[in-house]
Amino acid sequence: MGGSVKMVEESLKLAYGENSDLIKEKRIAAVQALSGTGACRLFADFQKRFRPDSQIYIPVPTWAK
């Protein structure tokens, strides 16, 4: 369940440009996430699984009021 495939593809084009080598060569991955907090959670889970010795830095406060 990675969200809308078309939305993800178009978002990559917007972020990296339609002629990006990363996109053309399929060297980039993306997923749609529910909210910013959900996206952070997905990234943290991914990072823990594939780079367990890496660190993630979280500011204090974590959310502006």
> Tens digits of per-residue pLDDT, 42-60?
889 999 999 999 998 888 8
pTM exceeds cut of 0.75:
no
Residue type, 27: R
Angle (CA) 57 53 25, round 5°? 85
Q: What residue spans of 2-56 are helical by DSSP H?
A: 5-16, 21-24, 35-50
Q: In this predicted model, what pLDDT tens digit does every residue of 4-57 receive, in sequence order?
A: 889 999 999 999 999 999 999 999 988 888 888 888 888 899 999 999 999 988
Rounded-to-integer distance, Cα 24 and Cα 48, Å: 28
